[in-house]
Structure 1
């Protein structure tokens, strides 16, 4: 493996393309099964249909972009289960490929970059969200894409840094236009820029701090509002320039309303521990008993927490920037949830923080290479083995009967 990696050490593009193809094949296999609406598709697919027809406002508690993309899939592939989910699978492929790019740009080494991409593809939640028409997958793809552009800008020559930085700002604006939980990443990007730039003028050469922050803030906001343009053409209750800003307050009220208790609700602190997953589907459909369980790969979920702690401790001792960023990204992305004013919490809110776990794992293996030797290969085999074992209840594969789920219920809180 090491010889192969050395051969492609300075050629990330062919490897990235190969990763994207493999990921898309993984996510796209039997994508149209089940053929009925699953879980929150009952909200977002009808909203996408209404948006595609420019009929009227629907599902107004969230911005429009993710529903516009679901609608685009319907327009391209038809109003079927394939059309509903097609672009979700593409978004997940973007997440996996983006994680490869992030780690390659951050470490300039192929081994941690490939490790991070594999961990992302097999962490269970990316696979499940790739195969359902929900908002989170699109939001995550744009956040990861934005982070890649901003990090790519750090290594750019002066003539190109501005364009790459602006592309990153636009990506974060698009992420927020999918779901508001992406908005804190605009602030994270600004803080990271100031911290990483301090004392290192070679980073983002030719980009003034004031200009960078202005482009990041104003650019992301402008792109966010641009995604509301279709709503100006609704047949009923169209948006206007006067109502665009007040509509944001209406969305906020919808998102923060007090909701009745839900079967699958869970506290934010339980998400990293994999305590309360969600059954997106468990019923007889398409002539077979099928299940889709949104649960984290235990090796990634629990191993990732160990890696976060190791990277944080390593940063305290050595002030290695890579260790600090690897730990800090997950810590910051998870820390926002106790402060978000939502009356109910659900495990899928942890989708993006769960994706970031691949970074501290890959960075920790790379940093302590002399100690761990090739244990990362054994760890990847464990992750892949668990993916294969859980695959039937991640992919809506046919099951033997109604009680087949018991085979995979490791914790009492999982059923």
Structure 2
């Protein structure tokens, strides 16, 4: 095994260990239900106690949390505190540990997706490392919430469909099956899990459009036969056009619908009314009835504010004093402290999010420029010249990456434009993955640039992201802070 591969594997292992450690560290430190745990932990326990209830979301995430509770109650550790807020006497560890474990794998999945797209180990490592340094993914993983599962299944669906495009025979059918299952599972967490499937449809349409522009690949195949240096290696995105109609319908329609439907069976056995179709209507009308604005929820945020992270969410906030009665929900105050604030903010890494948004804008600019250059070249070239040497559509491997990131980012964001109900920053988590991939792509390019200025820029961005992650760590993990320490982390008035 080459040294570079060993270093890459060790680096990814270090990212996983970092993610695992931060997610499991004092997982039970708040002995209560935090934010939407009041729904998901309770609903999960209801399945175990066979207590009928109404659920405003598809049920898969609650099944997973219920499995965690069933296993967690038999584990010999994580029992430093217990409460009955979920309907049974449970430790916070019981209903949180499986989320923590699952969330630890998301950086690896993002790294695998990055490598699948470009086959650059540095890019894959940076993508995984940046996601591991994101505060919102860390916070969502430490509590019994459902967004971690939505993102994980959605990304796995896209990873598997890309691998299917490069495979043949039984291996292709395996990847197609896994992709369909993953997309169906993402939708069975929340309906907005469908945005990953929507993005896949859009990128497949783009790949076919490019193929048609290139003369149904006749020019490309001819040039490839003579090993033309003008033709870059095929991108995995480009190879999606290798899938035939039946394979696309099965993996991107039939299997996801089947999986989504099957996921409702345990819920309907416990709650036979309303039935399956009535439940879909109930979910739709329930969310349509929810209005927006600070009167509905203090942390509602408009979709266009998400890329700049203007309005994060306070998941938990309590102040404590050594003069007050001991609060069983809170851990003890630090030695020598007279008062402290315990705050869990569902907020991303500010520098990571802001740089990622800028990186995505730069990617859009580069792609648009390349397309304009291609159009201009086609206009200026004579018909005879084009026939002798075809001017192929501009996407190289990196341009296919740019197209993939832009399309999937837009597919996960733009559907929210028409949503009138109260929405939150965590709805941007799927988009943030593609923005982070865009940043990792730029930093990877800069680190390998011959220009010292660009290499310095790449290194500076990495250090700023790591520094920000450490600086805001106390409000990711709910560490005790003094009033001044808390205030210096609230950079914008809308963050408090």
Instruction: Report the TM-score when normalising by structure 1.
Output: 0.90
Given that 1:96 and 1:117 are in contact with CA atoms closer than 8 Å, whether structure 2 keeps it comes out as: yes
Given that 1:51 and 1:57 are in contact with CA atoms closer than 8 Å, whether structure 2 keeps it comes out as: no
Given that 1:309 and 1:327 are in contact with CA atoms closer than 8 Å, whether structure 2 keeps it comes out as: no
Distance 2:367 2:96 in 1: 41
Give the root-mean-square deviation of aligned CA atoms: 2.4
Given that 1:312 and 1:328 are in contact with CA atoms closer than 8 Å, whether structure 2 keeps it comes out as: no
Question: What's the offset of the Cα at 1:342?
Answer: 3.9
- Out of 349, 354, 366, the position equivalent to 1:297 is 349
- In structure 2, relative to structure 1, the CA distance for the partners of 1:358 and 1:7 (3 Å cut) is farther
Given that 2:197 and 2:252 are in contact with CA atoms closer than 8 Å, whether structure 1 keeps it comes out as: yes
Given that 2:45 and 2:66 are in contact with CA atoms closer than 8 Å, whether structure 1 keeps it comes out as: yes
Equivalent in the alignment of 2:463: 381
Question: What's the offset of the Cα at 1:396?
Answer: 1.0
- Out of 416, 429, 447, the position equivalent to 1:337 is 416
Equivalent in the alignment of 2:299: 264
Q: Which moved more, 1:361-370 or 1:379-388?
A: 361-370
Given that 2:23 and 2:141 are in contact with CA atoms closer than 8 Å, whether structure 1 keeps it comes out as: yes
Distance 2:456 2:257 in 1: 45
Distance 1:13 1:256 in 2: 47
Equivalent in the alignment of 1:90: 101
DSSP 3-state at the match of 1:117:
helix
- Out of 349, 364, 372, the position equivalent to 1:312 is 364
Equivalent in the alignment of 1:226: 262
- In structure 2, relative to structure 1, the CA distance for the partners of 1:153 and 1:70 (3 Å cut) is same
Instruction: Report the TM-score when normalising by structure 2.
Output: 0.76
Distance 2:444 2:407 in 1: 17
Distance 1:264 1:277 in 2: 7
Q: Does residue 491 of structure 2 align to residue 413 of structure 1?
A: no
Q: Deviations along 1:93-144, whole A, 9 cap, x unmatched?
A: 2221110001111110111111111111112111111111111111111111
> Higher Cα Rg: structure 1 or 2?
2
- Out of 277, 298, 301, the position equivalent to 1:245 is 277
5 Å matches for 1:324-363? 324-339=403-418, 341-363=419-441
Equivalent in the alignment of 2:401: 322
Equivalent in the alignment of 2:244: 208
DSSP 3-state at the match of 2:348:
coil
Distance 1:137 1:361 in 2: 21
Given that 2:48 and 2:66 are in contact with CA atoms closer than 8 Å, whether structure 1 keeps it comes out as: yes
DSSP 3-state at the match of 1:178:
coil
- In structure 2, relative to structure 1, the CA distance for the partners of 1:350 and 1:251 (3 Å cut) is same
Equivalent in the alignment of 2:20: 24
- Out of 65, 69, 74, the position equivalent to 2:64 is 69
Given that 1:56 and 1:238 are in contact with CA atoms closer than 8 Å, whether structure 2 keeps it comes out as: no
Give unmatched runs, 5+ long, in structure 2: 74-89, 212-216, 222-233, 320-329, 334-340, 371-394
Distance 1:155 1:214 in 2: 17
Distance 2:455 2:203 in 1: 31
Given that 2:165 and 2:242 are in contact with CA atoms closer than 8 Å, whether structure 1 keeps it comes out as: no
Given that 1:255 and 1:342 are in contact with CA atoms closer than 8 Å, whether structure 2 keeps it comes out as: no
How many residue pairs align between the two structures?
404
Given that 2:316 and 2:343 are in contact with CA atoms closer than 8 Å, whether structure 1 keeps it comes out as: yes
- Out of 173, 176, 196, the position equivalent to 1:162 is 173
Distance 1:107 1:184 in 2: 23
Q: Which moved more, 1:15-24 or 1:130-139?
A: 15-24
Give unmatched runs, 5+ long, in structure 1: none
- Out of 263, 274, 277, the position equivalent to 2:309 is 274
- In structure 2, relative to structure 1, the CA distance for the partners of 1:10 and 1:309 (3 Å cut) is farther
Question: What's the offset of the Cα at 1:239?
Answer: 5.1
DSSP 3-state at the match of 1:62:
coil
- In structure 2, relative to structure 1, the CA distance for the partners of 1:43 and 1:403 (3 Å cut) is farther
Q: Deviations along 1:156-194, whole A, 9 cap, x unmatched?
A: 234412210221111011011011111122222122223
- In structure 2, relative to structure 1, the CA distance for the partners of 1:268 and 1:125 (3 Å cut) is same
